[in-house]
């Protein structure tokens, strides 16, 4: 082993800065590629279904909790119903109805939607 005087030795440099750069680049990548979804307006548990879906992704829909409260975005009640009908236009209106919602209330809502001009509704479910 050869002895090198202290005046000629190079200081040991840690490679921390490149590692920090890589971590920040990964952080930026994951933040930019993440899908940030808005939380649902009401806490509902969707009913279970054995049938497969039609392959279409659910859009913004009308949410109804077990007590019959309707929500669409930040709107509640009849204002939510009107906004959901307007947003659906000529398309399909997605309904996120709680599994505990009484069938009578759901039937009344479907009648109101038909009277408002909604041509097609889709009840969203979960598969077990």
Q: How do residues 38-92 score in pLDDT, each as one tens digit?
A: 777 777 777 777 766 655 555 678 888 888 888 888 888 888 888 888 887 777 8
Residues 6+ apart with CB under 8 A from 2: none
**Residues 106, 70: contact at Cβ < 8 Å?**
no
- State the average pLDDT over residues 106-126: 84
Quote the radius of gyration of the chain (alpha carbons, Å).
Answer: 28
**Residues 128, 47: contact at Cβ < 8 Å?**
no
High-pLDDT (> 70) share of the chain, %: 81
Q: Look at residue 75 in the predicted model and tell me its pLDDT.
A: 85
25 — pLDDT class (breaks 50, 70, 90): very high
**In terms of pTM, does the model score above 0.95?**
no
């Amino acid at each position: 082993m050869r002895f090198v005087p202290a005046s000629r030795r190079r200081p040991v440099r840690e490679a921390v800065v490149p590692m920090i750069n890589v971590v920040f680049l990964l952080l930026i990548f994951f933040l930019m590629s993440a899908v940030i979804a808005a939380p649902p307006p009401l806490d509902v548990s969707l009913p279970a279904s054995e049938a497969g879906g039609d392959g279409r992704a659910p859009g913004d829909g009308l949410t109804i909790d077990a007590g019959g409260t309707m929500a669409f975005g930040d709107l509640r009640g009849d204002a939510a119903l009107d906004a959901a009908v307007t947003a659906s236009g000529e398309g399909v209106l997605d309904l996120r109805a709680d599994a505990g919602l009484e069938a009578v209330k759901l039937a009344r809502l479907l009648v109101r939607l038909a009277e408002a001009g909604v041509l097609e509704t889709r009840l969203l479910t979960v598969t077990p």
